[in-house]
Amino acid sequence: MTLFSEIDSKKLPNHVSIIMDGNGRWAKILGKKRTFGHQKGIETVKKIIEESIKLEIKYLTLFAFSKENWERPNYEVKMIMKLLASSVIKYKKTLMENDVKLNTIGDLNDLPLDSKLAIEKVKQLTNKNKKLTLTIALSYSARWEISNAIKKIVSEFDQKKFNAKNINEKLVNNYLCTNNLPYPDLLIRTGGEKRISNFLLWQLAYAELYFCETNWPEFGKNDFYQAILEYQKRERRFGKVN
């Protein structure tokens, strides 16, 4: 029995974002290296993309690697970079067949060149796909994104492209990595931690937050449905009175 039939297809979140956490701890429980957890985590990514397509969710954004994650041991970082590139290549056909557009946020220039090129190639290949926009946050952190946005805004202001009085929420949003995406409706974090860890700080302002104990490699379709069912029970007020 799955919870799929309980989901109200008329009340789906348009944009689901996920902090995929707990790979290392999951592997440790099994007495394996952290990298084993990342490998298993890719299988969960595949599963959740499939479920998102099935549910007809339009936007799925996954936090895969933060700016801060570069401070991890070298062997782990190297392995994650390799895994990202090989997975993107491995699944490019599936992305095409399922009309999935691959998008990224973050600084791809931080990545090893071969990983960067592999990802850019698949982004280009899937660019016209429409069913699901899959955004992977790679070398992304919200404070970096916001600082960058300020830098660009100030520079264009200096070039007299706009007046200070024109700076508003819409303008700021145009300078973020997510300017082509709607704000997330739901944020899921696996792995038991109850924090945002520098993810989409601006964009999550009115997202519904859902934290679960399950580590990412074990996060299954029923866990995903559970998060969506919980979202469907929430009353979103956006500061107003319903």
Tell me which of 49, 55, 64, 188 binds ligand IPE, using CB under 6 A. 64
Burial class (CB in 10 A: 0-12, 13-18, 19+), 130: exposed
Tell me which of 21, 51, 145, 185 binds Mg ion, using CB under 5 A. 21
Tell me, yes or no, if 174 is annotated catalytic.
no
The distance of closest approach from Cβ of residue 47 to ligand IPE in the complex, given in angstroms and rounded to an integer, is 16
107 is in the binding site of which of Mg ion, ligand IPE, none (Cβ under 5 to 8 A by kind)?
Answer: none
Across 12-51, b (16+ Cβ under 10 Å) vs e yields bbebbbbbbbbbbbbbeeeeeebbbbbbbbbebbeebbeb
Residue closest to ligand IPE when measured from CB atoms: 24
Candidate list 69, 98, 129, 148, residue with the active-site label: 69
Tell me, yes or no, if 107 is annotated catalytic.
no
Other Cβ atoms within 10 Å of 79 Cβ, number: 17
Tell me which of 13, 17, 21, 176 binds ligand IPE, using CB under 6 A. 21
- The sheet carrying 59-66 orders its strands as 100-105, 132-140, 59-66, 15-19, 186-189, 208-211
Residue 33 interacts with ligand IPE (CB under 6 A): yes or no? no
Cα-flanking dihedrals φ and ψ of residue 60, to 5°? -130, 125
Please, what is the angle between helix 74-90 and helix 113-125, to 10°?
A: 30
Tell me which of 13, 16, 24, 136 binds ligand IPE, using CB under 6 A. 24
Please, what is the angle between helix 34-55 and helix 74-90, to 10°?
A: 30
Q: Which is nearer to Mg ion, 130 or 194 (CB)?
A: 194
Tell me which of 93, 195, 234, 236 binds ligand IPE, using CB under 6 A. 195
Candidate segments 61-69, 103-111, 116-124, 173-181, binder of ligand IPE by CB under 6 A: 61-69
225 is in the binding site of which of ligand IPE, Mg ion, none (Cβ under 5 to 8 A by kind)?
Answer: none
Residue 65 interacts with ligand IPE (CB under 6 A): yes or no? yes
The distance of closest approach from Cβ of residue 88 to ligand IPE in the complex, given in angstroms and rounded to an integer, is 15
Instruction: Find the radius of gyration of the CA atoms of the chain.
Output: 18
Strands of 115-177, DSSP E: 132-140
Would you name the residues annotated as active-site residues? 21, 69
